[in-house]
Amino acid sequence: MELFLQFCINGLMLGMMYALVAVGFTLFFGVLDVIVFSHGDTVMIGAFGGLSMYWWLGAVYPGLSLTWTVLWVFLAAALAVTVVGTLVARFLIMPLRKAPPLNTLLATMMLGTVLREAIRLFFPDGSNPKPFPHLLPEWSWQSGSLTLRFDNALLFLSGAVMIVLVHLLITRTRLGMAIRAVAQDEEAAQLMGVNFTMIVLATFALGSVVAAFAGVMNGLYYNEINFGMGLLLGAIGFSAAVIGGLGNIYGAILGGFIFAFLQTLGAVALPFASAYKDVFAFGSVIALMAVRPTGLIAEPSSQRV
């Protein structure tokens, strides 16, 4: 029973990270009908941005309290990724709007490689895995084979809060209304006086902030980041968004948790070696797509985002 609970906790943590990445994919698709394949690497940029901030704080304000450090790290990550995200939107995604979707897909895939290699080459000693600092209190509670860690709980809760905030922003604010309007019909939205460029940039900024959060969360959870972490994370986030139904935020969250559940199941419950857990998880995604090509929560495009 304790073992089962531990598996559930591991799976939930993993699921939350996947969900945060998937939300980005689904936002971009919902608003612009594009798949931004470099999103996983944006997450990685967030983690490295946070780490740089931590180093800088350590050098300039050595005695800063942990709470402030964590806040600044998150802020730096969000800022770094928002800058990257809006630049990408303005100079790569928008100019390619009239091009076939395949071009955007390829361009963003290549951009992902550029981001990865840039960190590897220009970040100090970037080709090696970097230790990410322990910034959260390390209380833990043990019972048999179950270990509950306070920092994990904190990360999970803040992830949930992040998702709720995104939800509120989209459903309750004027900006959210504009985003939804553009997603439904960009021409009609423009006729109603919505500044299309601004909304696209705002959407990318929003998706990027969520990605930055996922990146720092990843760093705090594993205490290790590396330049290649975004690759698989991106593939998984995208799959999660697809099984949930691209364009639907709740679908992305659901998809993230489903993928984590499949991976955990693949690693522990299958009779054959755990080496096949990714094969199992991605295979299940293919099966799910065959059964429900539009995703689990498919909504008409008029209700996107």
Q: Footprint of another protein on this chain (CB under 8 A)?
A: 3, 6-7, 10-11, 13-14, 117, 120, 125, 127-131, 140, 142, 145, 147, 149, 221-224, 226, 228-229, 231-233, 263-264, 267-268, 273-275, 277-278
Q: Minimum Å distance from CB 163 to another protein?
A: 20
Q: Of 33 and 117, which has the nearer Cβ to another protein?
A: 117
Q: How far is the CB of 278 from another protein (least distance, A)?
A: 6
213 vs 261, which CB is nearer to another protein?
261
Question: CB of 219 within 8 A of CB of 44?
Answer: no
Return the structure tokens found at 225. 């980041």
Q: Are 294 and 245 in contact (CB under 8 A)?
A: yes
Residue of 57, 104, 52 whose CA lies nearest to 215? 52
Number of H helices, E strands in the chain: 11, 4
Q: Which is nearer to another protein, 213 or 221 (CB)?
A: 221
Strand extents, DSSP E, the chain: 130-131, 140-143, 146-149, 224-225
Pairing of strands 140-143, 130-131: unpaired
Q: How far is the CB of 119 from another protein (least distance, A)?
A: 12
Cβ closest to another protein, residue 3 vs residue 99:
3
Q: How far is the CB of 128 from another protein (least distance, A)?
A: 4
In this structure, what token pair is assigned to residue 37? 């394949």
* Nearest approach, Cβ of residue 226 and another protein (Å): 6
C-beta separation of 47 from 218 below 8 A: yes
Dmax (CA) for the chain in angstroms is 63
- For 255-269, b where at least 16 C-beta lie within 10 A, e where not — what string? bbbbbbbbbbbbbee
By beta-carbon proximity to another protein, the closer residue of 30 and 215 is 215
Residue among 125 and 187 whose Cβ is closer to another protein: 125
Nearest approach, Cβ of residue 57 and another protein (Å): 17
